[in-house]
Each structure stands twice: as structure tokens, then as C-alpha cells.
Amino acid sequence: MTTVLFICIENSCRSQMAEAIFNHLAPKGMRSISAGSRPAKEVKPLASGALKEIGIDADALSPKLLTREMAEHADRIITMGCPEACPVVGKPMEDWGIEDPSGGDIEEYRKTREIITRKVERLLEVLESEKTGGNQHEEDINSEPIGR
């Protein structure tokens, strides 16, 4: 089972969206989890709402504390724009550099959701290619401009 760990500080928005979108799109044999170094008490309602708009049930999502064990068992570790939030585990990490939409309106959350969706789709292509011995490169995931 290939496991991807998405991390942000509060685990209340971007990493939760990435986990939910990845698990919604992933083929059998792949899964994701998310966590935060200082998890909030709940997932931001606008993040849940943005996921529900695209048919992803966000009711079961809840912020989780990042543990060393989570990181050690992950095949990929991706931070959402806060690489300092991850403990040092001797594994490569990738930062997607996605701005936090907190404080914005639903439109900001939708934009963030779409950026995350495109990056997750590219990540899944890379992971599938790696499984089949293809030559898709990791850099392709971050080749799209982050700007809105």
C-alpha cells in the first residue's frame, strides 16, 4: 500500500482537502492521511463545504496530531506551504507551497481546492508511473504556477 502524508500546521484546511481529494481519486493500493504539528479543534467549515461541492463527504474529517510514526510509515511526505511543520525523519519531503485560504471567502477555498486537485492528479500520475516503471518525474507535480 502506497501511503502519502499531507501536512500543514493546523490540519484544518489544505492538508485535509488534499487527503480527501487524494483518497477520492486514488486507485486501489494507494491512500493518504493528513496531520498537523498543532492541530485545530475542527476542520474549517468552508474547507468542508468546498469538498462537498465536488461530491466528497467531509463529515468524517478531523484534525490529527502529526506523529513521528506517521512520517516514518509514509512513502511520500508533502507539506502544503509550511515545510517547517514536519519533524525531521530522514525522509525526503516535498512542499507544494499552497497559500492558506483561511480568512477568505468560499471562493478562496474553491481556488485552493482546484490547485490541490490538479496537484493530486499529477501526483497520482507520478505514483502510477513509478509502479509501472515509467519515467514520469516528480518535478512535473510542481511545474504549474501556484498563483491564482
What pLDDT was estimated at residue 146?
A: 36
Residue 148 lies in a domain: no
Range of the domain at 129: 2-142
Comparing CA positions, the residue from 1, 29, 15, 5 lying closest to residue 89 is: 5
Give the number of other CB atoms < 10 A from CB of residue 30: 19
Residue 122 lies in a domain: yes
What pLDDT was estimated at residue 20?
A: 98
In the predicted structure, residue 21 carries a pLDDT above the cut 50: yes
Rounded percentage of the chain residues whose pLDDT exceeds 70: 86
Residue 49 lies in a domain: yes
Chain CA centroid to CA 40, Å: 16
Render pLDDT for 86-144 as a digit per residue (tens, 0 to 9): 666 678 889 999 999 999 999 999 999 999 999 999 999 999 998 887 665 555 555 55
Q: Helix (H, G, I), strand (E, B), or coil: what is residue 31?
A: strand
What pLDDT was estimated at residue 145?
A: 41
Residue 115 lies in a domain: yes
What pLDDT was estimated at residue 2?
A: 96
In the predicted structure, residue 79 carries a pLDDT above the cut 90: yes
What pLDDT was estimated at residue 131?
A: 82
Residue 147 lies in a domain: no
Rounded to two decimals, the pTM is 0.88
Residue 106 lies in a domain: yes
CATH of the domain at 57: 3.40.50.2300
CA 15, CA 81: separation in Å to the nearest integer? 10
Domain count of the fold of the chain: 1
Tell me the catalytic residues. Answer: 8, 82, 86
